[in-house]
Amino acid sequence: MNTGQTLMVIVGILLLTVFILTVYRASTARITISLVNEATISATGIAQSIIDEIQMKAFDENTTTSGVSSTNSLTAVGSLGPETGETQSTLFDDIDDYNNFTRSDSLSRMGTFNTKVQVYYVQKMTPETKSLSKTFTKRIDVFVFNFSLTDTLKLYHIVSY
């Protein structure tokens, strides 16, 4: 083999290496996107199931057995959260009991999904802003974390009385 042939073999090997690396990168990117999509779908299902669970509860501790006509009868802004004795979600009887609630769900394929819930009063016409006073509208924010998600998944829901 002369120098020209050796050089052509080296260039051929180099081109083959570049091709293999390109295929590998594309394959890895597809797998990563697939895992992120699967994690996003799983996280959305978990968040939505918590929102569905919360929506089945009374609007406020003071509306579990009867109605109220004034915001003065609702739970104070600083007291949102579970009442004494409500140590687990199966004992929660109203929406704001879920304030600062956390839960972990383990899925065999995607690992652990950690969920945090925040509940707070908002003005009916500006639900993106927390209210410093009691209103007949509450916002539920659900955050889901997982190592396969590129960012925290956030779902929110507005409930009015």
pTM: 0.81
Q: How many CB atoms lie within 10 A of CB 26?
A: 10
Q: Residue 135 in contact with residue 122, Cβ under 8 Å? A: yes
> What residue segments make up the domains of the chain, in order of their start?
3-160
pLDDT of residue 20: 84
Predicted confidence (pLDDT) per residue in 26-84, tens digit: 777 788 788 999 999 999 999 999 999 999 999 999 998 888 899 999 999 999 999 99
Q: Are 120 and 139 in contact (CB under 8 A)?
A: yes
Pairing of strands 111-123, 126-130: antiparallel
